[in-house]
A and B are shown apart, each in its own frame.
Chain A
Amino acid sequence: MMGFSRPQWIAFLVMAALVVVAPYVLYPVFLMKVLCFALFACAFNLLVGYVGLLSFGHAAYFGMGAYVSAYAAKAWHLTPEVAIVLGGLTGAAMGSVFGWLAIRRQGIYFAMITLALAQMAYFFCLQAPFTGGEDGIQQVPRGSLFGLIPLHSDMATYWVVAVIFLGVFLLIHRIVHSPFGQVLKAIRENEPRATSLGYRTDDYKLVAFILSAGIAGLAGGTKSLVFGIATLTDVHFSMSGEVVLMTLLGGMGTIFGPVMGALISTSMENYLAEFGAWVSVTQGVIFVVCVIAFRRGVIGELAAKLKIAL
């Protein structure tokens, strides 16, 4: 069902159970941060793991989604679900333009183009009046869900974020295991062959890019409403690096890997926050270790050990 294999169903149920139990054990705000970044990493993984396109500029969609959702909630007083959807649409719209440009080149050029375009988005956010420059958009109200259920308490907000996360996670899984997803994987494995079989590979890549950017925007929008803030950090290129790190660490091309990567990376940052620049050194070391010795990532290694797909 849903393209889940038996072990994947079990893993999914375990994850869902953990999502439900966790807020009673751990600080809900921290957990919401993990879930938002997990969503972001899953979006990124859709592109790098299943189409083989390494985007080094995903912060643009995440950050712009965060700005638009924050602005919609604060200046237009829209309800949170509408604001978040607007954030997702923003990401998708940007993704359709940036993706259309970037898929003209392949491999490392693709990475460099997405990075450069994201930097352009960063400078736009730095100068545009609605983003509030260095201050960002602060004190974004969470509002009431559907205009009915107020989200003042962290617990109420947590359930909304959990539902978004689990819903989108299932959606991504469905996409990956649909006929469309099979074509994406064919492109990853051998693009000329996919072309010769009659698939317009550029169209498939573009649609995958738009989906990925849209979900990244959704993650950004959710994040800005949860924390009430959208700043330049969200759109900065180090955020693009961070999502690459999460996905690499958890396991590129696995369904659960990005979630695990987001959990580890966010916990580590929380723990290392007081040590300043050591965060960046640690991240660098993780990159080096992962690339040299641990390319499958945590979940990928686990799956290989258990001889199942996760």
Chain B
Amino acid sequence: MMMIFGYPAPLMFGQLLLGLINGAFYALLSLGLAVIFGMLNIVNFAHGALFMLGAFVAWGMLYYLGINYWWALLLAPIVVGAFGVVLEKLLISRLYKLDHVYGLLLTFGLALIIEGLARNEFGSSGMPYAIPRQLQGAVNLGFMFLPIYRGWVVVAAAVMCLATWLVIEKTSLGATLRAATENAPLVQAFGVNVPRMITLTYAGGAALAAFAGVLAAPIYSVNPNMGANFIIVVFAVVVIGGMGSILGSVVTGFGLGVIEGMTKVFYPQGSATVIFVVMVIVLLARPAGLFGKSA
């Protein structure tokens, strides 16, 4: 058996893959947080709940309506995005003139409600969601077995991150969005409907979270706590990367996932806390975050 640093290679690559998968979710979630924060100036504490909601919508579509995984991957983000529109119009839009802190408190409350209702309805144990037929099985890469679905998650997340980056950086819609982030009143003066843009940005962030949720459904069991477990780590990721840069949050997300995976090989007890330790180190060395501008 091949060994790396005295550890069996399949173990290393297996954990590397798990790390990349977690990293894919960190990247998708922190990307959504960054987009929402840029435009709305709130930290969306409900992001984990929206992620969980995405997984539940996919599960419900399969279970009640017989809608398969591929359609769910398209439809669940739309459903959750529409829910995001309602949340933004009804509640979040009332807070833009207030301190940032209130946005955090409001979305924290929303997360408690969504997760509490899900727990009431489905219990905490979680439901299985089958891997779609086309993605079952594994391929032998020579140095390890790669379960196809896991490879798919990493690729799909990376493509989605790239697509989001392209939309924001390379299209005229993205240019308007970035301009509105910099100076909303001025963009509004040019005749752009900024409030609608803000609503759609929140919906877009929610849809990204739901997309991640559907991807996660076959890997983790679909359960009400799946988002809460992620969101705190994602906050640490956001502190490390800084919310200023799209590409920054993607790179940080994947990178930290890999670091976490490797910690599982070399020092398993530390794997739950390694990201927080990295956060502390970054705070000491570069308080503004790796990709952040100092405030």
- Residues A284 and B109 in contact, CB atoms below 8 Å apart: yes
Q: Judge whether A288 and B277 touch: CB under 8 Å.
A: no
Q: A107-B101, A287-B109 are in contact. Are A116 and B236 (CB under 8 A)?
A: yes
Bound Cα distance from A280 to B110, whole angstroms: 10
Give CA–CA (A120, B280) in the complex, Å.
11
Expressed in whole angstroms, the Cα–Cα distance for A276 and B121 within the complex equals: 11
- Could you tell me how many residues of chain A have their Cβ less than 8 Å away from some Cβ of chain B? 41
B-side contacts of A291, CB under 8 Å: 95, 102, 105-106, 109
Taking a contact as CB atoms under 8 Å apart, the answer to whether B101 and A54 are in contact is yes
Contacts of A112 in B (CB 8 A): 43, 235-236, 238-239
CB-CB < 8 A to B232: which residues of A?
Answer: 115-116, 119, 237
CB contact under 8 A between A106 and B295, given known A116-B232, A237-B232, A291-B105: yes
Q: Given A56, A107, A127, A286, which contacts B109 in the complex, CB threshold below 8 Å?
A: A286
Q: B67 in the interface, Cβ–Cβ < 8 Å?
A: no
Q: Which residues of the other chain, B, contact A56 by a CB distance below 8 angstroms?
A: 104
Partner of A278 from B116, B276, B288, B295 at Cβ < 8 Å: B116
Residue of A nearest to B236 (CB): A116
Q: B264 to chain A: closest CB distance in Å?
A: 14
Instruction: Kindly report which residue of chain B lies nearest to residue A288, judged by CB atoms.
Output: B109
Supposing A107-B100, A111-B101, A112-B236 touch, asked if A288 and B276 sit within 8 A by C-beta, the answer is no
**A287 in complex: contacting residue of B98, B105, B233, B284, CB < 8 Å:** B105
Give per-residue flags for B78-108: 1 if the beta carbon is below 8 A from chain A beta carbons, else 0: 0000000000000100110010111111101
Interface Cβ pair total, 8 Å cutoff: 120
Q: How many residues belonging to B are interface residues under a CB distance threshold of 8 Å?
A: 44
B91–A113 touching, CB < 8 Å: no
Give CA–CA (A280, B121) in the complex, Å.
13
Q: Is B283 an interface residue (CB 8 A)?
A: yes
Chain B neighbourhood of A104, CB < 8 A: 283, 287
1/0 per position for A253-295, CB-CB distance to B under 8 A?
0000000000000000000000011111101111110111001
**Contact present for B284 and A101 (CB under 8 Å):** yes
- Least CB distance, B248 to chain A, in whole angstroms: 15
Q: Which residues of B contact A27 (CB under 8 A)?
A: none
- B120 contacts partner chain A, Cβ-Cβ < 8 Å: yes
Contacts of A124 in B (CB 8 A): 273
Q: Is the CB of A284 within 8 A of B239?
A: no
| B interface SS class | helix
Interface residues of A in 103-133 (CB under 8 A from B): 104-109, 111-113, 115-117, 119-120, 123-124, 126-127
Interface residues in B246-295 (C-beta closer than 8 Å to A) = 269, 272-273, 276-277, 279-280, 283-284, 287-288, 295
Chain A residues, CB < 8 A from B106: 287-288, 291-292
Do the beta carbons of B102 and A285 come within 8 Å of each other? Answer: no
Q: Does residue A36 face the partner (Cβ distance < 8 Å to B)?
A: no
Q: A105-B283, A109-B239, A292-B91 are in contact. Are A281 and B111 (CB under 8 A)?
A: no
Q: Collect the chain A residues with CB atoms within 8 Å of residue B283's CB.
A: 101, 104-105, 113
**A248 lies within 8 A of chain B by Cβ:** yes
Q: Shortest distance in angstroms between B280's beta carbon and chain A's nearest beta carbon?
A: 6
Which A residues are closer than 8 A to B by beta carbons? 54, 56, 101, 104-109, 111-113, 115-117, 119-120, 123-124, 126-127, 237, 241, 244, 248, 276-281, 283-288, 290-292, 295
21 A-B residue pairs with Cβ-Cβ distance under 8 Å, sorted by A, are A111-B43, A120-B276, A120-B277, A123-B272, A124-B273, A241-B108, A241-B112, A248-B105, A276-B120, A277-B120, A278-B120, A281-B120, A283-B109, A284-B114, A284-B116, A285-B113, A287-B105, A287-B110, A291-B95, A291-B106, A292-B91
